[in-house]
Amino acid sequence: MLDIGFDTVFLDDDNNAMVILDQTQLPGKTQYLSLKTKEEIWNAIYKLQVRGAPAIGIAAAFGIYISVKGSSAGTYDSFYEEFAEVKKYLSSSRPTAVNLFWALDRMDDCVKRHKDRSVSEIKQALLKESNKILEEDIKVCRKIGENGLSLLKPGMGLLTHCNAGTLATGKYGTALSPIYLGQEKGYRFKVYADETRPLLQGARLTTWELNQAGVDVTLICDNMASIVMKNGWIHAVVVGCDRVAANGDTANKIGTSGVAVLAKRYGIPFYVLGPTSTIDMQAKTGRDIRIEQRPGEEIYKEWYSKPMAPEGIKTYNPAFDVTDAEDITAIVTEKGIAYPPYTESLCQFF
């Protein structure tokens, strides 16, 4: 496998810290942040310094461990009360990505499984569990890449939206994983990356990491997806996911649903790639997925030296949209590939 050359999130246990690559500084600066408090960890997740559903899950696991590692609680009950408070706090950072809650619940289960142990032993169990979540994510992403690559052919033109690569996961990514595997095998994909407004994850992050790996990548504005499809340059669309409902409706970065509609118009397969931990069988349809609303200033102030719209203008800034299941060709996971009808095929993974 290609050497990615950087880590997104990892634990520095000796210094009681979680370390993240600050994605808000890319591509101009490669800066790592050492986070030691629950407030710092919450801010890093909310402010998108660490982002991407799997990476958020990993950060949540390391984050809750770091937050309770220094607890002076002497009994299980007092320790769990403190743990539950931190869990509730961290879970409020981002409402849409299911991996955040999945990882926190998994750490919660770990505490409860060890309730008959000493507090010190519970902390060691949490350390082991958080490292396991990272290790599993790396293996899962590689398997997603292998399954995704089976749908693609050498020389294809691929369109991707937002960032679903190493920066969004423990390593390799979800939607970008087959691109990395293809690069290793000499597939010579030509990748087109949507800029992904308003936070420019495609421009700042996807192009940065693919360029680092030597992948042929071309940056386009979001409103150029149609013309590159019409030109015949796109043979498949590959995107990640933040939450998949039981019927296959998929929440992903804002703008994804529009790309899916265009792909269907031009007869281009639209593939969603993500771990089974992103599938929420409790959400029957996309209507059950809560969509995060972010500050309007991100639209017209974030990347400009002066506002690019009238001060105080009304804004609407949802972080995600939902792609209807009928517009998705297949959902690729580490356990296999699901095809419509998703109400039946997704069940096989559970």
At residue 276, does pLDDT exceed 70? yes
Of the listed 137, 194, 222, 242, which one is catalytic? 242
At residue 105, does pLDDT exceed 70? yes
At residue 2, does pLDDT exceed 80? no
How far apart (Å, rounded) are the C-alpha atoms in residues 269 and 71? 51
242 is catalytic: yes
At residue 64, does pLDDT exceed 60? yes
Q: What is the per-residue pLDDT across 11-54, written as a single tens digit (0 to 9) for each?
A: 999 999 999 999 999 999 999 999 999 999 999 999 999 999 89
pLDDT at 98: 84
pLDDT category at 97 given cuts 50, 70, 90 is: confident
How far apart (Å, rounded) are the C-alpha atoms in residues 222 and 301? 18
**What fold is seen in the domain 145-349?**
Rossmann fold (3.40.50)
Closest residue by Cα to residue 319 from 93, 57, 19: 93
Strand partners, 321: 252
How far apart (Å, rounded) are the C-alpha atoms in residues 118 and 135? 26
CB 242 within 8 A of CB 278: yes
pLDDT at 137: 95
- C-alpha dist (Å) from residue 275 to 88, 121, 234, 280, 328: 24, 30, 25, 11, 16
Instruction: Check if 9-141 and 145-349 are the same fold.
Output: no
CB 163 within 8 A of CB 201: yes
**Domain segments of the chain: what residues?**
9-141, 145-349
Q: Which CATH architecture has domain 9-141?
A: Up-down Bundle (1.20)
At residue 283, does pLDDT exceed 60? yes
Q: What is the per-residue pLDDT across 217-248, written as a single tens digit (0 to 9) for each?
A: 999 999 999 999 999 999 999 999 999 999 99
Q: What is the helix (H) or strand (E) element at residue 32, kind and residue range?
A: strand 32-35
Q: What's the mean pLDDT when you consider all of the chain?
A: 96
Closest residue by Cα to residue 44 from 80, 8, 69: 8
